[in-house]
Chains A and B, each alone.
Chain A
Amino acid sequence: MSTDLNPLLQQFILEARDLLEQAGRSLLALEREPGGAEPMNALFRAVHTLKGTSGLFDILPLTRVVHAAEDLLDAVQGGRLTLLAETADVLLDALDQVGVWIDGLAEAGVLPAAAEAASGKWVDRLRAPLANADSAGAPASVAAVAAGLPAWIAVLSPAEQRSCAAMSGEDAGPLLAISYAPDAHCFFRGEDPLALTRQIDGLRLLRVEPVTPWPELDVLDPFVCNLRLHAIVAAPAAELEHLFRYVRDQIEMHPLPDGWPSDKPAADVALPDDVAALLEVLSGQQRLLEASAPDAMWEGRLGSVARVLRGALHHAGHDALAPGLESAVAAATVSGEPAPLLAYIAAQRIAALAAPAARPAHGAVTPPAQREPATPAAAEMRVAAPTTLRVEQAKIDAMMNLIGELVVAKNALAYLARRAEDGSLGVRELAREIKDRQALVNRIAEEMQTAVMAVRMLPVEHVFQRFPRLVRDIARRLGKQVELEIEGGETEADKNVIAALADPLIHMVRNSLDHGIETPEARRGAGKPPHGTIRLQALQDNDNVIIRVSDDGSGIDPDIVRRKAVEKGLLDAERAAALPDEEAIMLVFAPGFSTASAVSDLSGRGVGMDVVRSGVEKSGGRVALTSRKGAGTTVELTLPLSMAVSRIMTVACGERLFGVPMGLVVETVRVPRSALHSLRDREAFVLRDSVVPVVRLARLLDLPDEEDAADEQAILVVRLNGERLGIVVSAFREGMEVIVKPMDGILAGLRGFAGTTLLGDGRVLLILDLRELAL
């Protein structure tokens, strides 16, 4: 096979050969066992799949032949035609021919030139038995029309459409829709797109629109062509080809179907344009709601329609319409009838048709506020925003009680203020009273916080419950015997933490199944019981939830890890040999490392433990790994109980204060200036027998490097991606619990900051994103 084919085409060639072989085999089996349902299904599926797949490539002659073969088989399957020996012969011959073309495709990357001419003959041969069998059906003709109309045509006003069509009656030439997207720099090549288009003989309609919305005048670059031209013409395609021969790649032509414009509903037009896509999506939801389906599916149908509509509105930039949607969804939920939603959809379709131009598409221009927020927590919030939480009644009651207390405490303040006003209290007494009240409000605020957090808490069980099935199925496929033990499923963690846990956990369990637990024979050989055990544990430890996945499998062999790491070029042999065993096995977390010699179907495509680690660290957690060769492996994830409130440590850099997530902080040390050594262009110091690289916060932030006179340097030691790093700051300040707000609006794109929080004195504290800053 020629190697410069694109990978998709290479894959197609492999698959096509398989499918042809399968089809051939099934045909032969059918001859031996006429009417056999099994081979018939296999044959039909093979041809069907081949046709569907071939449509992805520019090999129309081949697709046409396979399509004809499929129609023939469809008639056989539908009982309209009997598969006679001669029909089977034609099929076999046709498939052989397709095989030859595939070979040609593999050689040259294009179909042999003869294919185009031969294709029609094969189609006729394949259709011959059909023509005799049923003269009524002509199923194939539909496909040609499915190509669809360009989007801009769909938004032409009916009057415009009619005006083109009325004229077309006179000279009966077929109408063509042309879209001309001139290159942005076309003016510099002396091209004049408008003049060129106007030269078309038989121009019926010309529309010119900006590719991107016109910018403000003072930033408009008049030398850049920001135009797209659409035209409907009654002219022979060959003439147009000639006229546009120098810009052929910028032209799209679509023949308009006979009888255009028709009163076809917009939904029938498969258009890759934003308005058309919105219409199509809306009409899809309408059809879904109108279709009859079992009651059991109602909730799912309604739910999915609501989600899709929310998505479509959001993507089309119509968030303002969302409240109407929500009330329609609510009405449909209450009544158990789709009518309110159908009415809403109908209104949206009219709105979308009426004002197509005013609509910015997300794909083109994204306002800054829509960009991915800088922090993972913020990203979670965005994703989680529209979802609903089911909350226990008791949790809501607890919050109601606290609100009651808060109201009382508030009234007490008014009373206190009155007493202060009428002078019946001395300053000292007043201060004491205020402190008392403050203590009360403080307690309520803390309890409120806890109560609100509790609402977001879900038992880990939510993730764990998927695993028994998963483990059973995978173990069976691997021919292993595995018992899954689950402990601590009732441990609660924040909803976002639970969500962040799912993927790493699946990966870890799959690793245990794949590489940890041995086959029953191997286990017997090692003197272990034939069935292995995987244990999933969850427990709470202060502000963290700990998830442990342990197995009693073969463990990780540090020597194999060392060898692999060296082979992968992660480090050199000398350094690898010098690593203690427990550090060597940590190499499995290194990006690009995967211990499986063959990437197994189950552990996915070569993603390894580094994905687990980065996923967990993104949520502010840590991963630890212990393993004993022959005895098993334990991976432990430590995740913050909640992502909403974070503990941070404040540090000073010159006059300024910054926050650092406490989860990253390993320790704080003060060392004499002389203890900092320069290693090439970086600094480092020795901390308990190991060398820790050092960077200066002022330099990371590009702040003026304050005078280094201080003899003692304050170093914040943090752990980033498993490595320790020292950060020189001016001073350490207190640790605190804060609610981190993601950067908003224009600041959302600012790198290096995870968010902001308000300090007690009203100042805004910037929380540093050290991963972004230091790496």
Chain B
Amino acid sequence: MRALVVDDATTVRMFHRGILEEAGFVVEEAMNGIEGLERALAGEVPPDLLVVDVNMPRMDGYAFLRAVRVEPALCDVPAMLISTERARMDADRAFAAGANLFLVKPVRPEALARFALFMTGAARECAR
């Protein structure tokens, strides 16, 4: 299972990478939406999961997800959008943009891993 982490904060990417790798994912990273699209489209097989930050330069998480949902090669890839606070407000925008799950930072490691596994159907051992 491959996950693409799209976030402009290196620390957050490292953090998410650590959790997802622990859960058995192969993790790729991108710094913003544009790069995220580039990365996601670079392989014949799209990633199995997108883990996306909201606030990023160049192309933010909403715009990224909207682009993903209309790109034939990527449109059905499960995506979780992770925002900081103001959850209620952002959540509506997130789901309208096509997010399958909306989480609020900081996400607890075990929660992130669990959601990732649930969304991709990977069993912990299987993914490894």
Contact = CB atoms under 8 A, between A and B. Distances in A.
Given A284-B101, A296-B70, A299-B75, A12 B84 contact: no
Contacts of B68: 300
A382 B120 CA distance: 13
Contacts of B120: 311, 315
B9 A370 contact: no
B8 A49 contact: yes
B45 to A, nearest CB: 5
A501 interface: yes
Contacts of A315: 117-118, 120-123
B114 A274 contact: yes
B105 A52 contact: yes
Interface in A301-317: 301-308, 310-316
A510 to B, nearest CB: 9
Interface in A415-452: none
Contacts of B63: none
Given A296-B70, A299-B75, A272 B85 contact: no
Interface string A486-528: 0000000000001101110010000000000000000000000
A274 B74 CA distance: 27
A284 B100 contact: yes
Contacts of A288: 95, 98-100
A564 interface: no
Contacts of B126: 362, 366, 370-372, 382
Contact of B121 (A8, A285, A311, A466): A311
Nearest to A316: B118
B9 A293 contact: no
Interface in A43-89: 45, 48-49, 51-53, 55-56, 67
A640 B90 CA distance: 49
Interface stretch (A26-34, A139-147, A193-201, A254-262): A139-147
A766 to B, nearest CB: 24
A55 B106 contact: yes
A371 B127 CA distance: 9
B69 A300 contact: yes
A576 to B, nearest CB: 33
Nearest to B66: A297
B87 to A, nearest CB: 6
A165 to B, nearest CB: 24
Given A277-B114, A280-B115, A8 B15 contact: yes
B127 to A, nearest CB: 8
Contacts of A273: 114
Contact of A304 (B14, B53, B66, B78): B78
Contacts of A473: 38
Given A311-B122, A372-B128, A503 B43 contact: yes
18 contacts: A15-B9, A15-B11, A48-B55, A53-B9, A281-B115, A284-B95, A284-B101, A297-B69, A297-B75, A307-B77, A310-B121, A362-B124, A363-B117, A370-B125, A372-B128, A466-B41, A502-B43, A502-B45
Q: Can you list the 9 inter-chain pairs with the closest CB atoms, starting with the nearest?
A: A303-B76, A300-B75, A311-B121, A502-B44, A300-B69, A55-B106, A314-B121, A272-B111, A362-B123
Given A280-B115, A366-B125, 13 more contacts: A139-B86, A270-B111, A272-B108, A272-B114, A274-B114, A278-B118, A281-B101, A288-B98, A291-B95, A299-B75, A300-B68, A311-B122, A372-B128
